[in-house]
A and B are shown apart, each in its own frame.
Chain A
């Protein structure tokens, strides 16, 4: 059974940093591209970042470029998102998601809440 389990969220002050993790199991992690998608409270979905299966190519939304870093450790089946210089606009539930063959997100984690507040 495919499982994606996010961790690392919580309350952080503006300007602070967090590292989100997504533990993958039930599939061959190293052959799938992965993404982070977020959802602010009461709002829609926003794509944040994508990393290719080998970790060599990354993509970012303009809203997070230069502040967020996506990475993966295929030996540990783990996807990460290092988030820095946080603002209140980054308050959201962050989902990790697996790409299927067509680049769509066929499996999602349950999400982890990041709250940026003083």
Chain B
């Protein structure tokens, strides 16, 4: 099973600041990695597919990068609605696995 480790667990930032979230895979997933955002009481929302492709309707301040085992989600300038939990997920192999999440909280 491919283990995805996200860091940090919590990121305390202010609106307007840059957020950098990390996801490390226990083995290569090439670029088969996605990022999801989840707000309390809501279903997750797809942000980024295949490491760097923004999903439909996702603002340009969200960007993804990486390949192999190391991936990054960057939010260039945090908006109030961006404070949420972010998960990475791989589709390179079965079983599909998610990271444990990074909570972006308001400082």
Interface, chain A (partner B; CB < 8 A): 35, 37, 44-47, 50, 59-62, 95, 100, 102-106, 108-111
Q: A44-B101, A45-B89, A95-B43 are in contact. Are A104 and B95 (CB under 8 A)?
A: no
Give Cα A100 to B56, complex, Å: 11
| List of A residues within 8 angstroms of B44 by Cβ | 37, 45, 95, 105, 108
| List of A residues within 8 angstroms of B100 by Cβ | 44
Q: A44-B100, A45-B36 are in contact. Are A104 and B43 (CB under 8 A)?
A: no
Give Cα A13 to B95, complex, Å: 28
Partner of A62, one of B46, B53, B95: B95
Main secondary structure of the interface of A (DSSP, over half): strand
Give Cα A104 to B49, complex, Å: 7
Closest to A109 in B: B43
Closest to B33 in A: A104
Closest to A45 in B: B98
Contact, CB under 8 Å: A102 / B98:
no
Is B83's CB within 8 Å of the partner chain A? no
Closest to B85 in A: A44
| List of B residues within 8 angstroms of A104 by Cβ | 34, 46, 49-50, 55, 89, 91
| List of B residues within 8 angstroms of A103 by Cβ | 32, 91
Query: 10 tightest CB-CB pairs across the interface, nearest first?
Result: A108-B43, A47-B96, A104-B49, A45-B98, A104-B34, A103-B91, A44-B101, A102-B49, A44-B100, A61-B95
- B28-46 interface code vs A (CB 8 A; 1 in, 0 out): 0000101010100011111
| List of A residues within 8 angstroms of B87 by Cβ | 44-45
19 residue pairs from A and B, CB less than 8 Å apart: A37-B44, A44-B87, A44-B98, A44-B101, A46-B98, A59-B94, A59-B96, A61-B95, A62-B1, A100-B46, A102-B53, A103-B32, A103-B91, A104-B49, A104-B89, A105-B34, A105-B46, A109-B43, A110-B42
